[in-house]
Amino acid sequence: MTEAVEWYTNANAALLSHLTKEIKDTDSSTIWRYLVGFKNLLRSIECKGIGSVLGINYFARGYLQPRAYERYIAHMILGRDLLDNTLNLVPSLIPLHKDIKEDSFEYQDLEKKNQQIVDNKHQDGSVTDAIEYFDQTATFLDKLRAVQKQLREDIRDGVTKSLTEAKRSEVVCAGILILVCVVSPIIIVLVRNAVNTIQVYASNLAEKARELEYEKELSDSLLYQMLPPSIAKQLKQTQQVPAEFFASVTVYFSDIVGFTAIAAVSTPYQVISFLNSVYKLFDEKIECYDVYKIETIGDSYMVASGLPVRNGNKHATEIASMALELLEATSMCRLPHRPDQTLCMRSGIHMGPCVAGIVGSKMPRYCLFGDTINTASRMESTGEPMKIQISDDVKRALDKTGLFLTAPRGVVDVKGKGEMSTHWLEGRIGPSPERQPTSSLDCTPSFLARIHSQRSPRYHTDKQRKH
């Protein structure tokens, strides 16, 4: 049993020693260790002093009573543990304690006498042995008190050093505080200036953003006049638009009869103004229909329906209705520089398949290709003034709706196609919507009027506030 208890005691002592060392290595502070070590050393001296009194009693009487024996063992073991704990907390004391143990013969003799007391064998009492034990114990305790004095000096030095560092830190903190108090107003002023600058910059940036957004709307508006919106968006995103085949579309062509003669007796400015006025009138009229203006070449006006967005079988009726309205509007218009002369227009319509796509990179245009376009152009060129010539395919498509009046023209020799049976589109069945007659034409391009009419009210307000 004694061996088992000793084995566990040694194991626990090794574990506690290791833990104490790890704690000592991880904690950088020293004052608390010195204080705890001083306390433990003080208690160790006290316990060893009590144990020495009981040891004197043993040598004087020759034995110890059980109660006194237990007290001796308890105080001696406690004194030794407290001393070991002090050495662990304050490693700088280990050399001093080592000198006491190894360089003193009296310490070796004292340890033998302590072991004799632990054995507690009965013997004859001896006052001489008791006095000798007392002297040796007193000498050992004096050496421990010397160690305690050294530890007290270390504590005083450590506290003094800590106080000095604290005062130095206090001075540094006071200096930093004074510096902060001096610099803070400057920093506050600089920050306020920076905030004001940022606010002004943000305001200017917001104004520029609104102007940029307005300019973007202008450019997009102009782009959507030159290309179909769906094609323009796809072109902006992917930089390329593949050609597309359409199984059935309706194409409309028209030109001004006698345009060459009008241009011959007009100045270049009058010609441009006249064409702008005609195109604006046509552009405003076709806005109400599901059609797309392909292009204008001189006095020729080309419109298609069913592309670039397919609309089923509605393209023939959309083009027919648009053609009738354009013909009616033309009959009520006068030339800006020759009010006594009315416009006279020739129109043609055909339907069929075609291919459409973007042509060119510098000035891209949405163009149509195929025999349908050529035939529609021939319907216009072989027609008559103020009439709309349509092909058999268009007539059959319109007859299915029952909404239009047509009249047969007969067989016409079409260049490149041979003889074709054509018809005249004369009107719609049912009352036509009332329209205000136009006495003269406005020469302002329609896309510019539309762009300026879409100017944001908030943009106007900001401009007025700025002025």
Mean pLDDT for all residues in the chain = 80
pLDDT for 8: 66
Contact (CB, 8 A) for 57 and 68:
yes
* 355 sits in which H/E element: strand 345-359
Give the burial string for 209-223 (b: 16+ CB within 10 Å, else e): eeeeeeeeeeeeeee
Give the pLDDT confidence of 23-71 residue by residue, as tens digits. 455 445 567 778 788 888 888 888 888 888 888 888 888 888 888 888 8
Name the pLDDT band for 193 (thresholds 50, 70, 90): very high
| CA dist list (Å): 100 to 82, 142, 416, 459 | 17, 11, 131, 97
pLDDT for 424: 92
* Least confident residue range of 94-103, 166-175, 346-355, 442-451: 442-451
Q: Is 402 left (phi over 0), alpha (psi -120 to 50) or beta?
A: left
pLDDT for 466: 45
Q: Locate all alpha helices (DSSP H) within 301-388, ordered by sequence.
A: 315-331, 371-381
Q: What is the spatial distance between Cα 282 and Cα 103, in angstroms, rounded to a whole number?
A: 124
Mean of the pLDDT values across residues 135-155? 85
Name the pLDDT band for 443 (thresholds 50, 70, 90): very low
* Residue 20 or 115, more confident: 115
Close Cβ partners of 118 (under 8 Å, ≥ 6 residues apart): 73, 76
Give the pLDDT confidence of 120-134 residue by residue, as tens digits. 888 888 888 888 888
As its CATH architecture, domain 241-452 has 2-Layer Sandwich (3.30)
The full set of domain ranges for the chain reads: 2-174, 241-452
* Least confident residue range of 150-159, 188-197, 441-450: 441-450
pLDDT for 457: 47
Mean of the pLDDT values across residues 225-231? 74
At 360 the three-state DSSP class reads coil
* Residue 408 or 108, more confident: 408
Mean of the pLDDT values across residues 436-448? 42
Close Cβ partners of 232 (under 8 Å, ≥ 6 residues apart): 220, 223, 224, 226
Kindly report the number of other CB atoms within 10 A of residue 177's CB atom.
Answer: 10
Q: What is the spatial distance between Cα 380 and Cα 390, in angstroms, rounded to a whole number?
A: 9
pLDDT for 2: 58
CA nearest neighbour of 318 among 296, 288, 293:
288
Mean of the pLDDT values across residues 422-451? 57
Name the pLDDT band for 436 (thresholds 50, 70, 90): very low
Residue with tokens 């392909």: 294
pLDDT for 320: 92
User: Burial, 52: exposed, middle or buried (Cβ in 10 Å; 0-12, 13-18, 19+)?
Assistant: buried
| CA dist list (Å): 204 to 196, 199, 218 | 12, 8, 21
Q: What is the spatial distance between Cα 70 and Cα 205, in angstroms, rounded to a whole number?
A: 92
Give the pLDDT confidence of 285-312 residue by residue, as tens digits. 888 888 988 888 877 889 999 888 888 8
Given a cut of 90, is residue 423 above it in pLDDT? yes
Q: Locate all alpha helices (DSSP H) within 227-255, ordered by sequence.
A: 229-238
pLDDT for 102: 62
Beta bridge partners of 401: none
**High-pLDDT (> 90) share of the chain, %:** 13
Concatenated DSSP letters of 158-221: HHHHHHHHHHHHHHHHHHHHHHHHHHHHHHHHHHHHHHHHHHHHHHHHHHHHHHHHHHHHHHHH
Name the pLDDT band for 197 (thresholds 50, 70, 90): very high
Name the pLDDT band for 446 (thresholds 50, 70, 90): very low
Tokens describing residue 324: 């009738």
* Least confident residue range of 38-47, 287-296, 348-357, 457-466: 457-466
At 351 the three-state DSSP class reads strand
CA angle 116, 122, 125 (to 5 degrees): 90
